[in-house]
Amino acid sequence: MCDIARHRKSLLELTNKINAPFFYYDLDWLQTHIKALQTLPVKLWYALKANPLSAIIKLLAQEHMRFDVASVGELDQVLKQGVAAARILHTGPAKSDEQLVYFIEQGVTRFVIESTEQLKNLQRIAEHKEVKVEVLLRVQLQWQSTEKNVLGGECVTPFGLSAEDWQGYAKTHQLNHQYVTILGFHCFQWGNILSLQKLEKIWFSIAKELKILADAMGIKLRVLDLGGGLGVDYQESGQALQLDDIHKLLIKLKAVYSPTEIWLELGRYAVAQSGVYVTKVIDHKTVYEREMLILEGGSQHLMRPTLTGEAFPVRLLRESSSTLSSIHLHGALCTSLDYLGKVSLPCDVAIKDHVVFSYTGAYGFTESMPFFLCHTLPAEVIYRQGKIEIVRPAQPAGVWLR
C-alpha cells in the first residue's frame, strides 16, 4: 500500500505547496499490485467507478486490464486514454436507447443487461446498426441473511431481474438473435467482503443457481460474471483477503464449473490501497467531554464514512511519540452528517497539523459531494518512478460557480 512513512517528506512539502486538501496516489505500488492481480485465473475488469483518474486508467491499460464502465462520461474518459473499445464492458442499471446507441457507435460490443426492456432495445439497436454484440443477463438472487450493504445484499434493488423473471421471459420470447449473443449471467450483490468463507459461500451459491437457470433457459453458460466485492480491511484488523487464498478459491470454483469462464470486476481491491488523502486540522475542542477535531476536508471530499458508518484509517502526518488518544473527526460542512469517525491519534495533535487518511485510492473524490458549501476542490497528485506531479490543482469555488 502507499507507505506514509516513505512518502512523509513529500507529503509535508505538498501541504505547503498546495495549501489545500489533496489526494496522493503511489502509482509504483499500484503497478506492482495490478501485476499480481493479473495472475488470477479469471478475466479481470477494472470498475471505473472506484477511481476514474486519467493516470490510473493509463497505468491499468498498460498492464492490460479491461474496463467496466457505467456511463457515457466514464466511456469518454476511458477512450480518451487510448483504451480500445474491445476492452470495455458496459454495466450500470440505467441504459437509455441513446446511451446504448452511443456505446455501439464508439465500438463497444459487450453489455450487462439489467432488464427485458434493455434486452429488447439492444436487440433492436444492434439489428438496426448491423453490429453483433455479446451480453450478460444480470440476475438478482435472494439470500437467507439479514446483512445489508450498499449493493443491496439480501434487499430488493434495481440491479437486474430475478431468476424467475428471466426464466419466464425465455418461455415467451426468442433468446437467439442474429446480432445479440447471450454469453451467460452477471450477479453481484455484496461489497467489501473480508471473509474467505463468506466469499466461497456466495460464489458457489451464485454459480449453482445460475447454472440451473442457464439450463432452464437453454443458454450455454460460457461466462459467469461475479462482479467485485473483494474487501479492503479499513479497520486494519488483520482480516485482509490474501491474493493466494483468492487464487485457490477461484481454481476450486473453476474445477466445478469448467469450462465456464469467470469474470471479476475489481474496483476497491484494485486501487484503494494506492491512495491517501491529506487535510489540515482547523479546530480542536471538547464538547460535553467529547474530544473532536474539525478538519478542512470532510464529506465534501470523502463521502464513504457517511455512507457506510466506517472510518478510513487515519494517522498524524508529522511524526509524534505521544500516546494515542481516541478522538472524533468532523469535517467543515454545516451538518452533523459530516462525521469521519472515532479514531486514535497522538494526544499532541494540534491546530494546523495535517492528518492522512489511508485506502482512499478508491471511492474518494468522485464519490463525494465537492460542491456543497462551495469549498475548495481538492488537488490530486501522483507519484511515479521518483517523480511527483500535481495532475489537478486545488480549485476555488469561483472556477465553477456561475
3-state helix/strand/coil string of 339-399: EEEEEEEECCCCCCCEEEEECCCCCCHHHCCCCHHHCCECEEEEEECCEEEEEECCECHHH
Degrees to nearest 5, angle at CA 45 with 221 and 28: 150
Residue segments in the chain with a per-residue pLDDT below the cut of 50: 146, 148-152
Tell me the three cell numbers of residue 164.
Answer: 424467475
Rounded to whole angstroms, the Cα distance separating 182 from 307 reads: 35
User: Residue 247 pairs with which residues in a beta bridge?
Assistant: none
| Whole-number pLDDT of residue 149 | 43
For cell 486514454, the residue is 81
| Whole-number pLDDT of residue 200 | 95
Strands 354-358 and 324-330: unpaired
| Whole-number pLDDT of residue 170 | 96
| Whole-number pLDDT of residue 153 | 54
| Whole-number pLDDT of residue 144 | 66
Rounded to whole angstroms, the Cα distance separating 186 from 191 reads: 15
pTM given for the model: 0.94
Rounded to whole angstroms, the Cα distance separating 93 from 86 reads: 21
Task: Say which residues have a Cβ less than 8 Å from residue 373's Cβ, sequence separation at least 6.
Answer: 300, 332, 333, 334
- Write down the H helix ranges in 19-131: 27-37, 54-62, 72-80, 97-105, 116-129
| Whole-number pLDDT of residue 150 | 40
| Whole-number pLDDT of residue 137 | 98
| Whole-number pLDDT of residue 206 | 94
Tell me the three cell numbers of residue 209.
Answer: 443457481
Provide the 3-class DSSP secondary structure of residue 208: helix
Strands 223-225 and 180-186: parallel
| Whole-number pLDDT of residue 145 | 57
User: Residue 46 pairs with which residues in a beta bridge?
Assistant: 67, 266
- The helix (H) or strand (E) run that includes residue 254 is helix 243-257
Q: Report which of 90, 59, 64 is spatially closest to residue 76, judged by C-alpha positions.
A: 90
